[in-house]
Amino acid sequence: MTLEHLLAERDGSVLTLTMNRPRVLNALSLASLRELDRVLAGAAADPAVGAIVLTGAGDRAFAAGADLRELSRYTPFEAQGHAREVQGIFTRIERLPTPVIAAVNGLALGGGCELALACTIRIASASAVFGQPEINLGIMPGYGGSVRLQRLIGRGPALEMLLTGESIDASRALQLGLVNRVVPAMALHGEAQALAALLASKPPVARRCILDAVAAAGESSIDAAQEHEAALFGLVFATEDMREGTRAFLEKRAPAFRGR
């Protein structure tokens, strides 16, 4: 696949995708998001890819928001359709059977913040900045920000960010639980790659089932979520990896998972 807006690099079972529009701080055009969607779908279908790292080109921005030149031309009807399309892309990222680590290397504002929220895990450089500044433009989040942000950090902190439009730094993002860890800028790539390699080394069926169970739990009642979890728990007991993992534990050796 020829890529116009992304850089893709494979290192073993880890795929690194870099949003490559540094002149506009990696602003998210619809074309770039559609390209990301296609690449992630292909990666999810590839059993050789065990984890994905998503980051931005340069050291200034992960993604500084949606492409405002593009958005400013929309009619109300077109804006609604655009929001629904991008929401669909971000929901597919959130539900991807392969973990996606957002390595946030600078500004993650507006749509960029919403993209990070849709990822499985977020690692931020110490210089990262997060925000939903849409209100300052007379608009509001349209890519799931009002939904995922409050689920991740709580209603009160989310409303403060959404209604003031003020950004937070990496340390505050860590305190709120918006990111999983904060590392020095020079260590961000290595930290993300190491975590991705660790996730990729885990048994694939169990990894996919965990991602499925957590996604379902966020959208279901406790009873329904636990029923789904029990079904998946039974499913992993049908795998060779389950037998290998338990046998290796009892034999006090490292398991050799085969993804079956």
CA dihedral 155, 153, 162, 54 (to 10 degrees): -150
pLDDT given for residue 9 in this prediction: 96
For residue 260, being part of any structural domain is answered with no
pLDDT given for residue 4 in this prediction: 94
For residue 189, being part of any structural domain is answered with yes
Q: Kindly tell me if the per-residue pLDDT of 33 is higher than 90.
A: yes
For residue 98, being part of any structural domain is answered with yes
CB 99 within 8 A of CB 120: yes
For residue 258, being part of any structural domain is answered with no
Q: Kindly tell me if the per-residue pLDDT of 247 is higher than 90.
A: no
Distance CA 248, CA 258 (A): 13
For residue 168, what is the domain's CATH number?
3.90.226.10
pLDDT given for residue 256 in this prediction: 83
For residue 152, being part of any structural domain is answered with yes
Q: Which residues span the domain enclosing 233?
A: 204-250
Tell me: do 77 and 191 sit in the same domain.
Answer: yes
pLDDT given for residue 253 in this prediction: 86
For residue 139, being part of any structural domain is answered with yes
Enter the pTM of the model.
0.94
Tell me: do 57 and 139 sit in the same domain.
Answer: yes
Reported confidence tier of residue 2, pLDDT bands at 50, 70, 90: confident
User: What sign does the dihedral 173-177-179-180 (CA atoms) show?
Assistant: positive
Tell me the mean pLDDT in the region 195-209: 94
Tell me: do 227 and 120 sit in the same domain.
Answer: no
Reported confidence tier of residue 218, pLDDT bands at 50, 70, 90: confident
Q: Kindly tell me if the per-residue pLDDT of 45 is higher than 90.
A: yes
Tell me: do 133 and 177 sit in the same domain.
Answer: yes
Phi, psi of 141 (to 5 degrees): -60, 140
Active site residues: 114, 134
Looking at the structure of the chain, the number of domains it has is 2
DSSP for 124-171, written as a single string: EETT-EEE-GGGGGT----SSHHHHHHHHH-HHHHHHHHHH---EEHH
Reported confidence tier of residue 248, pLDDT bands at 50, 70, 90: confident
Reported confidence tier of residue 219, pLDDT bands at 50, 70, 90: confident
- Tokens at 218, concatenated: 């966020």
For residue 256, being part of any structural domain is answered with no
Distance CA 231, CA 216 (A): 12
Q: What are the pLDDT digits (tens) for 5-14?
A: 999 999 999 9
Q: What are the pLDDT digits (tens) for 62-113?
A: 999 998 889 889 999 999 999 999 999 999 999 999 999 999 999 999 999 9
Distance CA 75, CA 14 (A): 40
Q: Kindly tell me if the per-residue pLDDT of 1 is higher than 80.
A: no
Tell me: do 162 and 245 sit in the same domain.
Answer: no
Q: In the chain, where does DSSP find H-type helix?
A: 30-44, 68-71, 76-94, 111-118, 145-153, 155-164, 170-176, 188-200, 204-217, 222-236, 240-250
pLDDT given for residue 254 in this prediction: 86
Distance CA 60, CA 245 (A): 43
Tell me: do 179 and 244 sit in the same domain.
Answer: no
CB burial class (10 A; 0-12, 13-18, 19+) of residue 37?
middle
Tell me: do 38 and 64 sit in the same domain.
Answer: yes
For residue 102, being part of any structural domain is answered with yes
Closest of 177, 71, 59, 68 to residue 117, by C-alpha: 177
Tell me: do 189 and 237 sit in the same domain.
Answer: no
Tell me: do 113 and 240 sit in the same domain.
Answer: no
pLDDT given for residue 220 in this prediction: 82
Q: What are the pLDDT digits (tens) for 116-164?
A: 999 999 999 999 999 999 999 999 999 999 999 999 999 999 999 999 9
User: What sign does the dihedral 95-101-104-105 (CA atoms) show?
Assistant: negative
pLDDT given for residue 251 in this prediction: 87
